[in-house]
Amino acid sequence: MVKQIFKVLKDVFGYSEFREHQQEIITAILSGKDTLAVMPTGAGKSICYQIPAILSEGITIVVSPLISLMKDQVEQLKEYGIGALFINSSLTPVEYQNNIDRIISGDVKLVYVAPETLISDRLLPVIKSVKISLFAVDEAHCISQWGHDFRPEYRKLSDLREYFSNTPFAAFTATATERVREDIAENLRFKKHEQFIGSFDRPNLFIQVMQKYQPLNQVLDFLEKYPGQSGIIYCATRKQVESLCEDLQKYGYQAKPYHAGMKDEIRMENQQKFLRDDVKIIVATIAFGMGINKSNVRFVVHYDLPKNIESYYQEIGRAGRDGLRAFCLLLFGYKDIDKIKYFISQSNSEFERKLAYEHLKALVDYAEFYHCRRIPMLEYFGEEYKKKSCGMCDNCNSREKNMFDLTVPAQKYLSCIKRTGESFPDSYVIDILIGKKDPKINEFNHDHISTYGIGKEYTHRQWSAISQQLLKGDYLIKDDNRGPSIVTKKGWNLLQSKELFFGYIPKEETKKISVVSADFGSYDENLFKELKAVRKAAADKISVPPYVIFSDKTLIEMASKKPSSRREMLEISGVGQFKYERYGKMFQNTINAFLGEKRDDAVEDRKKPEVSQTIMKLCSQLNEGKTVMDLMTISKLKKTTIVKYMLKYVQAGYSFPLTNVDELLICSTSVQSSALKKLDSEKGKLVIVYNQMIGKISYDDLSLLLIKYLLEKR
Ligand code: ADP
Ligand code: ZN
């Protein structure tokens, strides 16, 4: 089983290794267990149900909430040579019926469907009439009211248990909170099941938070570093989207807007252009992004504050799905916070207000955090970041880590805490220090205490850094993680100048943006550009986004290793057999031409099999009256090997009597005739047909049928 799993990983998807948890999830599913997998975006959840789907008899139903996502996945699977289709409201009646027919005829391995469609009176009876190997519930958090995207129709999925009591369910989500996990397991009526929770760290994302002061200029500075790269800029309002987009266009950037207030067709067109690399930058509200699988998004900018840490995490998570380095910039403005606070105060529901304040506070804490940003981010998902420094966030990369004597500011801070009775949150204490005009401060009369406005020399963020260092150094403690700070004995000593305090002050950014360059390792940039152009042309021809053909990562590996043979090409991560058959030559030619060598036909030549002496000797005996059984006895080789030799022999132009094939075939005549038809329509491409028929026919049988096909064609 393990061997088969790895074989599909390599042959179909072109990858040599599994990522964290993938193999365990696949094994659990294949052994018929209900499975819940929580993995961040880009971790590779799809393969976890696609490989079992390919290896199992019957059809895997993939429940997915988004039409665009289904289309994307089906397109990708097609490019891997796997039969897949989707059923949703976007299909015409004829397309719908065609797809139903394909399900009934067993022509597909994966069926993507929206939950409401799945349990509809039209589809359910069809599903009940065929063999279903697995229900894979994607975006499973939609089942939970605690999730960020509750969809009531997901709740009805549990009804399926009535009809499919022995079919396993596998749920996938990138939402990690325990409440959501429990909800999923309960709603899908998981009994004994396996759970896998992946790390939420996305090590290839460089994360940076900047004070927002001249946002347009800041964005322009940022974009300058990533010429020609794809990225998303999130804004809080539709108006902001429109105006920023216009500004960027004025500066010569190819940018398009996306928000819910636009006409559907224009919005979809902009999205398509972005996916297909016709437009590099999309300026959008949070309406954009769910179901966007584009793997080469190189940056995500938050022009305004995100809604909460979870949405922020999801939004930046859309960058760097291909595993290459990507950049995330959050422009953090205190004015924005005041605006948000105002909106929150207008809400009628006490519960909502409380929740919104909690979210906002977590965001502010994150933005002001002075140590590695991965610490608070992962903590939000209940995960502890074990490394001291990630080297991939602004704080870890800051060069200004010189220590200063900060005794006086520390005393100001501690004294302000004392004067407010050690009962207010840090950010409020800081507001007093910097002399903020705030009704709440007036209300408590804190604008009259001696520490009001004595800390104007530093910004809010800088004070926050001091406060965090005081906490870390045990000058302050908190009752719980989030509550007000209390001055410790050590803090008292500092207040009374019995000890000194040394620490860091973060520099307030001016126009400079600290950027780590997009280092993808060494590769030939010009060749990469050419490969991208070839990919774009091929993608346009079949109307799919370029990343569906090969990811940027795959092209970069090609531009670095410059493969020169079929074998070397197949070693590139992301080049599976099917894709090789379809695109290998095209990309190989580009590489050859680039290298200035006239090796255009090298791939073709290599494909012409040479027949070794062994094969010649062995197979020619079939023309002397010997049977395959005789050959097995003579050579002590396995049937599989002999079949392989026979195929090579025939492919090289030799022949033998067809009876040798017929007596070895095991599969039924109906499978034989469907395989022969497929071999004919795919022009004898064995791997392609094998992938289409996985689970229905053995490789030996298919090879024998190919021999038959080739001999009959002569
Ligand atoms: P998710 O659904 O978890 O967001 P995807 O399934 O879209 O992630 O996978 C993200 C990317 O990672 C895809 O391009 C996929 O082909 C790639 N990928 C998945 N598994 C592997 C692997 N084992 N090795 C290399 N790349 C992988
Ligand atoms: Zn860090």
How confident is the model at residue 512, as a pLDDT? 45
Contacts of 183 (CB under 8 A, 6+ apart): 143, 144, 145, 146, 147
Alpha carbon of 19 to ligand 1 centroid (Å): 9
At 646-661, the pLDDT tens digits run 998 888 888 898 888 9
State which ligand 1 atom lies nearest to the alpha carbon of 17: 23
Average pLDDT over residues 606-632: 80
Q: Which CATH architecture has domain 2-197?
A: 3-Layer(aba) Sandwich (3.40)
Average pLDDT over residues 572-599: 86
For the CA of 138, the nearest ligand: 1
Alpha carbon of 31 to ligand 1 centroid (Å): 22
Pocket probe for ligand 1: among 13, 21, 137, 551, the residue whose CB has the most ligand atoms within 8 Å is: 13
DSSP lists the bridge partners of residue 309 as none
Alpha carbon of 683 to ligand 2 centroid (Å): 53
Confidence of residue 514 (pLDDT cuts 50, 70, 90): very low
State which ligand 1 atom lies nearest to the alpha carbon of 295: 14
Distance (Å, rounded) from C-alpha 600 to C-alpha 84?
34
At 380-390, the pLDDT tens digits run 888 899 888 89
At 288-322, the pLDDT tens digits run 987 788 999 999 999 999 988 988 998 999 999 88
Pocket probe for ligand 1: among 19, 80, 578, the residue whose CB has the most ligand atoms within 8 Å is: 19
Helix (H) or strand (E) holding 206: strand 205-211
- Between the ranges 231-240, 308-317, 359-368, where is the mean pLDDT highest? 231-240
Cβ–ligand 1 contact at 14 (below 6 Å): no
Q: Is 584 helix (H, G, I), strand (E, B) or coil?
A: helix
Does 193 have pLDDT greater than 80?
A: yes
Question: Given the DSSP bridges, would you call strands 297-302 and 281-284 parallel, antiparallel or unpaired?
Answer: unpaired
Cβ–ligand 1 contact at 241 (below 6 Å): no
CB distance 197 to 174 below 8 Å: no
Alpha carbon of 28 to ligand 1 centroid (Å): 19
Angle, helices 639-651 vs 613-620, to 10°: value is 100
Q: Check residues 351 and 197 and name the one with the higher pLDDT.
A: 197
Average pLDDT over residues 662-689: 86
Cβ–ligand 1 contact at 47 (below 6 Å): yes
Does 513 have pLDDT greater than 80?
A: no
Q: Whose CA is nearest to atom 17 of ligand 1?
A: 44
At 78-131, the pLDDT tens digits run 999 999 999 988 899 999 999 999 999 988 999 999 998 998 888 999 999 999
Pocket probe for ligand 1: among 17, 18, 321, 553, the residue whose CB has the most ligand atoms within 8 Å is: 321
Residue with tokens 């939970």: 144
Cβ–ligand 1 contact at 41 (below 6 Å): yes
Fold agreement between 2-197 and 205-380: yes
Confidence of residue 600 (pLDDT cuts 50, 70, 90): very low
Q: Whose CA is nearest to atom 21 of ligand 1?
A: 44
Q: Check residues 148 and 28 and name the one with the higher pLDDT.
A: 28
Radius of gyration of the chain (CA): 31
Distance (Å, rounded) from C-alpha 367 to C-alpha 461?
8
Does 605 have pLDDT greater than 50?
A: no
Alpha carbon of 12 to ligand 1 centroid (Å): 13
Average pLDDT over residues 399-408: 72
Does 610 have pLDDT greater than 70?
A: no
**Half-sphere CA count of 518, side-chain side, radius 13 A:** 25
Confidence of residue 519 (pLDDT cuts 50, 70, 90): low
State which ligand 1 atom lies nearest to the alpha carbon of 45: 3
Dihedrals phi, psi of 45, to nearest 5 degrees: -75, -35
Nearest to 313 by CA among 363, 273, 263, 268: 363
Does 599 have pLDDT greater than 60?
A: no
Q: Whose CA is nearest to atom 13 of ligand 1?
A: 44
Q: Which of 88-102, 125-139, 341-355, 589-603 has the lowest mean pLDDT?
A: 589-603
How confident is the prediction for the chain on average, in pLDDT? 88
Q: Which CATH architecture has domain 404-506?
A: Orthogonal Bundle (1.10)
**Half-sphere CA count of 615, side-chain side, radius 13 A:** 19
> Which amino acid makes up residue 657?
P
DSSP state of 230: E
Alpha carbon of 389 to ligand 2 centroid (Å): 5
State which ligand 1 atom lies nearest to the alpha carbon of 551: 14
For the CA of 376, the nearest ligand: 2
Cβ–ligand 1 contact at 15 (below 6 Å): yes
Q: Which CATH architecture has domain 525-606?
A: Orthogonal Bundle (1.10)
Cβ–ligand 1 contact at 416 (below 6 Å): no
State which ligand 1 atom lies nearest to the alpha carbon of 138: 2
Cβ–ligand 1 contact at 545 (below 6 Å): no
Contacts of 213 (CB under 8 A, 6+ apart): 333
Alpha carbon of 477 to ligand 1 centroid (Å): 43
Cβ–ligand 1 contact at 115 (below 6 Å): no
Does 399 have pLDDT greater than 60?
A: no
Q: Is 257 helix (H, G, I), strand (E, B) or coil?
A: strand
Distance (Å, rounded) from C-alpha 611 to C-alpha 620?
12
State which ligand 1 atom lies nearest to the alpha carbon of 19: 23
DSSP lists the bridge partners of residue 477 as 486
Dihedrals phi, psi of 229, to nearest 5 degrees: -95, 155
Q: Whose CA is nearest to atom 24 of ligand 1?
A: 15
Distance (Å, rounded) from C-alpha 276 to C-alpha 561?
26
Confidence of residue 515 (pLDDT cuts 50, 70, 90): very low
Dihedrals phi, psi of 142, to nearest 5 degrees: -60, -15
pTM of the model: 0.66
For the CA of 25, the nearest ligand: 1
Per-residue tokens: 467:
């406060």
Domain spans of the chain, in order of start: 2-197, 205-380, 404-506, 525-606, 613-713
CA 195, chain centre distance (Å): 20
Integer CA distances (angstroms), 161 to 140, 169, 188, 192, 696, in order: 16, 9, 8, 14, 27
Does 604 have pLDDT greater than 80?
A: no
Pocket probe for ligand 1: among 15, 25, 49, 292, the residue whose CB has the most ligand atoms within 8 Å is: 15
How confident is the model at residue 609, as a pLDDT? 57
Cβ–ligand 1 contact at 172 (below 6 Å): no
Alpha carbon of 603 to ligand 1 centroid (Å): 28
For the CA of 549, the nearest ligand: 1
Cβ–ligand 1 contact at 296 (below 6 Å): no
CATH code: domain 205-380 is: 3.40.50.300
